[in-house]
Chain A
């Protein structure tokens, strides 16, 4: 593990330079396999229950395409900035990397803000968590996704602080890489959410 390094010089792809780093990356991908099933099950419940609207507002009435589109673009751009952060990581450009990470979480916060606003609107329209099976499954699916975004924001924020303190090393690099993979994943999940929940809800 320590045999390849010269003191001070970061290797290319520093996140993969140690066994621990490679383990972390692999372990995280396997965790994403599990998360795929987790979100899949939430989707499954939503698909089964989405017609059980009871007295509450129906999907066509509730969902606003412009708002959903903006949220989608915000998250998509944040996924791109996350790519740029990893590219800066590979170029060993700590400042640039931290900058892109900061933009990523700022956009994540915008997404969350919009989502909270959206949910608040829905509640006023009579679409509450307890309203119907549709509403419970909607808030569970979209809410869990939002929860993942929030966790990502906190995690990446914490990493920014850590790297400011400890610098970019073969120990901190895998953390950045893994957080980026996580962030991309929640954007991938959002692609399915806006497609299956919002767009198909309006068709």
Chain B
């Protein structure tokens, strides 16, 4: 709570175009579609297992990107450090998945 009139922090005082809900609804529809495809692929039971796994991961990743970018505003300016935060976390998660799948044995 300290007084810091630093010139580098202009707090959103520029004229700001209020965005409509359209883009967000598109992301919602996209997320639903991706989710339905994923569930359908598994429910059908017929498809090749490896293909389904890649499809599921693909659907999930696209959906997550869309939600991060639009719903969580990560595509907007001023989000460098949020991006670093999430990407840094994701980087460590890559290590975690590798160790679980490749390097645990009994």
Contacts and interface: CB of A to CB of B under 8 A. Distances in A.
Interface stretch (A22-30, A119-127, A151-159): A22-30
B67 A26 contact: no
A202 B4 CA distance: 55
A34 interface: yes
A69 B34 CA distance: 12
B81 A34 contact: no
The A contact surface, by secondary structure, is helix
Interface of B: 1-5, 9, 11-13, 15-16, 18-19, 21, 24-25, 28, 31-32, 35, 38-39, 42-43, 49, 52-53, 56-57, 59-60, 63-64, 67-68, 71-72, 81-82, 84-86, 88-90, 92-93, 96-97, 99-101, 104
B38 A11 contact: no
A37 B49 contact: no
A78 B66 CA distance: 16
A168 B106 CA distance: 56
A40 B89 contact: yes
A7 interface: no
Contact of A65 (B18, B43, B100): B43
Given A34-B89, A65-B43, 16 more contacts: A19-B4, A29-B85, A32-B86, A36-B85, A36-B89, A40-B97, A43-B97, A47-B100, A69-B35, A83-B21, A83-B24, A87-B19, A184-B67, A188-B68, A192-B64, A196-B60
A36 B64 CA distance: 13
Contacts of B24: 80, 83-84, 87
A203 B81 contact: no
Q: Is the interface of B mostly helix, strand, loop or mixed?
A: helix
Interface residues of A, number: 59
A185 interface: yes
Q: Which residue, of A17, A30, A87, A203, has the highest number of chain B Cβ atoms within 10 A?
A: A203
A199 B43 CA distance: 9
Nearest to B101: A47
24 contacts: A3-B5, A17-B13, A19-B2, A22-B9, A22-B11, A33-B89, A35-B89, A40-B92, A41-B96, A45-B100, A47-B97, A47-B101, A48-B100, A65-B39, A68-B39, A73-B32, A76-B31, A77-B28, A184-B72, A188-B64, A191-B64, A191-B67, A192-B64, A195-B38
Given A30-B81, A83-B24, A202-B42, A44 B35 contact: no
